[in-house]
Amino acid sequence: MVVGDFESSLGTVVIGAGPGGYVAAIRAAQLGQSVTLIEKEYMGGTCLNVGCIPSKALIESSHYYHDITNSSFSGIKAKDVSIDFEEIQKWKDEQVVKKLTDGIKFLLKKNNVNVIEGAGYFMEENKVRVMHEFGGETYTFDNAIIATGSTPIEIPGFKFSDRVLDSTGLLNIKEIPESLVVIGGGYIGSELAGVFANLGTKVTILEGQSSILPNFDKKLVSFVEKSFKKLNVDIETKALAKQATIKDDGVTVTYEIDGKEKSIDCEYCLVSVGRKPNTSELGLERIGVKMSDRGLIEVDDTCQTSVEHIYAIGDIVPGLALAHKASYEGKIAAEVISGKDVSVDYRVMPAVCFTDPELSSTGLTKTEAKGLGYDVLVSEFPLSGNGRALSMGKTEGLVQIISDKQTGEILGGQIAGVNASDLISEISLAIETDATLEDISLTVHPHPTVSEAIMEAAEVGLGLPIHI
C-alpha cells in the first residue's frame, strides 16, 4: 500500500465489487479496457458475503435437518439427530463464502483488473478520491461504473442492535433462537423465516400488506403459506410494526392490526422491509448526476447517467434489486463503454424466492399481460401429476405459463415447487426466443423429470393434456 496523497490516471473505474461491479470489471477488461475496481469492504459484495450465498447455505442446511427429523418417506425414521449450529456457520463462512470470494479475487487478477481497497467518492466529473485507513489518493479516469449496492432499511422504533437485527446480523448469530419475529414477509423475510422454522424456532411474520410474497401469484404463495402452517409459523398480515423494547433476554415487539395494538415477546427480531441505495456518500450531487427522491440514480437504456461517461448499475438504479440484474447491467455498461451497440432489455428478468416450496417467476404476469392488451391464456399443470415430483415426495406446487391466446407466444411464467429456481430458465429462454406453447410441447423432455411439468403445462394451453 502506498501511503500519502497523490494523483494518478486510470482508464475505467468501477466502484463496488458486488455481483454487478466485479462482473462489469471483468467484462470491461476482457474487451480491452484498463480497469480499476474500488471496494471498501467485501469482495463479492453483500450477495456473496452476507446475502444471497450465505442465506442459501443456511437454507440448505435447515432443509437437511428438517428432512432428517421429519422424513416424508414411508419406512425411513431417524433417531438421536443432533445439530451443531456453530459448525454450520463455520462451514458457511469457510467452505462456501470464502471459496467464492477467493475465486473472484483470482478471476480479477487473471483478467488484469487492478483492485484498490477503500471508499471511493467523486471530486469532479473525471476525478475520484479513495479513502482508506492510511489516508487517501486521488485518481483521474475516463469512464466510471457505479455499483455500490444497497443496505437494509432501518424503520422507526426498531433501531438495529444485538436483538433487533438486519439480515446480515441474523445470518451470523451463533445459536438457534427459541423464538423470532420477522418484520416483512417479502423475499428475505420469508426465506429466513423458513430457515429458522426448519431448525425448530418459533417464528412469527408481521407483514404490512394483505399477503406475504406479494410479487408472486396468490395461488403459488398459498403453497408456501401451507408449508409455514406445518412449521407452526404464525403470519399476521396488514400489521403495522410500531416499536421494539429490548429486555435482558430478548425483545418485545409492539404492532397494530385494524387499530388494535398487540405485542409479542421473542429472543430476536429481524427487520426486513426493504433496502436503500448506497448513493448518499458518493459526491454525486457535486458532479451533477441526477437521482430520484429515493436516492436511485437515473439511467438510460445503456446504463448511462446524466453525466455522459458515468454509468450506474444494480440496486442503485430503478428496478428489482436482484444480483443477476446487476450482473446483466454490468456487462451492458462495460460493453457500451467498449463501443458496442447494446442496451438493456428487461422483458425477461427472472426472480426466485427460496422458500419451501421454491417460487420463481419470469416475464409478464397475467395482470401485466392484460394491461398491455394481450388476449391472455393461463395454462397450469400441478406437480401432483408429475412422476419425478411424486417419487421425491415433493408434490406441492404447479407450473403456470402465461401466453397469447391468439398466437401461442410465451409471455411469462411462474413456478411453485421443487427445483423451481432452476426450471424457470426454460420459460425465460422461451420468451427470449419468441417460442410458443407448441414449441415447448414439441420439445422432448426427459422422463422422469420435474421439467416435464413445463411441457405438460404447454399441452394444457393447447387443449391437448395427457396427464391431467
Burial class (CB in 10 A: 0-12, 13-18, 19+), 187: buried
- Bridge partners, 360 (sequence order): 352, 415
Cα–Cα distance list, 175 to 55, 244, 272, 394 (Å):
15, 21, 20, 29
**3-class SS of residue 334:** helix
Residue with cell 454490468: 330
Q: From 131, 128, 151, 123, select the one nearest 36 (Cα to Cα).
A: 128
Read off the amino acid at residue 49: N
Catalytic residue, chosen from 66, 132, 447, 467, is: 447
447 is known as an active-site residue: yes
Residue with cell 454525486: 284
Listed in sequence order, the residues at least 6 apart from 280 whose beta carbon sits closer than 8 Å to its beta carbon are: 295
Q: From 32, 39, 40, 41, select the one nearest 11 (Cα to Cα).
A: 32
For the chain, helix (H) and strand (E) counts, in that order, are: 15, 24
- Active-site residues: which are they? 447
